[in-house]
Amino acid sequence: MAADQHASIEQIRSDTRRIALVGASANPARPSHGVMRFLLDRGYEVVPVNPGLAGQSLLGQTVVATLAEAGPVDMVDVFRASGHVAGIADEAIRLGARTLWLQLGVVDEVAAARARAAGLRVVMDRCPKIEW
């Protein structure tokens, strides 16, 4: 990882408090579940987003159906297929998030460029559990 990208990830880690985790799963075998637990264990406030689980409790947090319902967040962590990123990026911009984090295997260069142009930091094809 380049030194400037490392510095950027360190900055994200230090100034992030509230994270919307899009694509949260109740299945402990799913990567999103493990990452959510990792983030919660490190003191972050995590709002799980999954319309199929809305209203349920996941790792002690109430699941919301949409990113808009997650309220103000510092970071949007995306566990959805790349084809869903454009809409999520647009919503992250509208919500005033500072960071759009796309998990391993999730890549959308156009949406990432749009988010960067709106002032968001973008991390793509990486996992905070690995990076942090």
Q: What is the pLDDT of residue 110?
A: 97
pLDDT at 41: 97
Per-residue pLDDT, 25? 96
Strand partners, 48: 21
pLDDT in tens, 62-93: 999 999 999 899 999 999 999 999 999 999 99
Residue 76 is predicted with a pLDDT of 97
Number of domains in the chain: 1
pLDDT of residue 128: 87
In angstroms, how far is the first alpha carbon of the chain from the final one?
13
Question: Chain-wide mean pLDDT for the chain?
Answer: 93
- Look up the pTM and report it: 0.93
- Which domain range does residue 62 map to? 3-131
Please report, for residues 40, 42, 48, 68, the alpha-carbon distance to residue 59 in angstroms, rounded to integers and kept in the order given. 9, 14, 9, 21
pLDDT exceeds 90 at position 99: yes
Say which CATH number the domain at 110 has: 3.40.50.720
